């Protein structure tokens, strides 16, 4: 671990951590991921995500462990079938309890189900919980009423709207409506994984006020099973500019590296490819702080 990488990532904010508990096997609990992040990179904050439940509950339940760790840990809710789909009641509860992110359908989205049918590497259901498809756009192309109500709640709370794993055209409908409401805390995660949103389409999303989130765990050169090479990520950064990009780990699964290891591996490669340290900090520290409303 070089001093240059540690310096560049000092105070990072990881908006996409899959620590536990979860119906899917996880390598670490939330407070363990936070402790590791603080010990090695002085991680300022992280957002924990589950495809199945409101993670604010987890954060509150682990408060006695987290109290001694300087890293702030936030939760949120993903609108899959296990929480009732696009359920304003569940969203309101999560936000009122301190949730900072609302993910639209991930494993319940039609796009995810198309890409990962049962029996695949990333099944649409856990071993004990079936998942049903959730659509947010009606046949006329308009957002369903519940989705519009959720947008109102997210906007009112100043929380982050994440597009989940939906079809690109559904994301366009979601972001268009959010933009019309004056929302500016919007994120599309891993556009080139599952979702299938090309750089030109992401230009449209950026014009609507969204940030494009890329997951360092997918580009980590230390992983033999990485999805992409680091130079692919450099191409995305060059296309859209660091001011429009957020980096996150998407790590915490049992068989994957720890989140911090993914950060170190990929960001070390980016610096070796010539990425300025200031650009890395923009994507890993400043942009997520703005999205989460963190000051100082």
pLDDT, one tens digit per residue, over 5-27 is: 899 999 999 999 999 999 889 99
24/166: higher pLDDT = 166
DSSP track, 118-139: TTSSS-SS-SS--------B-T
- 30-77 residue pLDDT tens: 999 999 999 999 999 999 999 999 999 999 999 999 999 999 999 999
Domain that holds residue 16: 3-292
pLDDT at 116 over 60: yes
Q: How many domains does the chain have?
A: 1
pLDDT at 120 over 50: no
Which sign, positive or negative, has the C-alpha torsion 241, 101, 266, 41? Answer: positive
What pLDDT shows up at residue 4?
Answer: 83
What pLDDT shows up at residue 127?
Answer: 52
Q: What percent of the chain has pLDDT over 90?
A: 88
CATH number at residue 88: 3.20.20.140
DSSP track, 7-29: HHHTT-EEEEE--BS-SS-BSSB
What pLDDT shows up at residue 119?
Answer: 45
């Amino acid at each position: 671990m070089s001093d240059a990488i540690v310096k560049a990532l000092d105070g990072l904010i990881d908006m996409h951590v899959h620590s536990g508990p979860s119906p899917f096997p996880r390598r670490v609990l939330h407070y363990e991921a936070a402790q590791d992040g603080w010990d090695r990179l002085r991680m300022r904050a992280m957002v924990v995500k589950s495809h199945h439940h409101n993670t604010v509950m987890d954060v509150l339940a682990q408060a006695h462990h987290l109290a001694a760790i300087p890293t702030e840990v936030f939760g949120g809710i993903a609108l899959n079938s296990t929480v009732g789909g696009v359920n304003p009641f569940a969203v309101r509860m999560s936000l009122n309890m301190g949730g900072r992110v609302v993910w639209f359908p991930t494993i319940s989205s039609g796009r995810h189900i198309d890409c990962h049918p049962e029996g695949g590497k990333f099944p649409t259901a856990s071993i004990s919980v079936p998942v049903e498809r959730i659509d947010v756009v009606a046949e006329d192309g308009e957002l369903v009423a519940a989705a519009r109500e959720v947008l109102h709640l997210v906007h009112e709370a100043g929380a982050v709207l994440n597009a989940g794993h939906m079809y690109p055209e559904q994301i366009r409908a979601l972001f268009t409506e959010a933009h019309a409401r004056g929302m500016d805390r919007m994120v599309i995660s891993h556009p080139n994984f599952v979702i299938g949103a090309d750089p030109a389409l992401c230009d449209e999303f950026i014009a609507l006020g969204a940030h494009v989130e890329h997951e360092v765990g997918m580009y980590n050169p230390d992983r033999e099973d990485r999805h992409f090479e680091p130079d692919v990520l450099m191409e995305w950064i060059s296309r859209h500019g660091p001011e429009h990009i957020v980096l996150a780990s998407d790590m915490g699964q049992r068989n994957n590296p720890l989140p911090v290891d993914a950060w170190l591996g990929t960001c070390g490669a980016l610096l070796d490819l010539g990425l300025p340290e200031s650009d890395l900090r923009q994507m890993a520290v400043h942009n997520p702080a703005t999205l989460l409303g963190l000051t100082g």
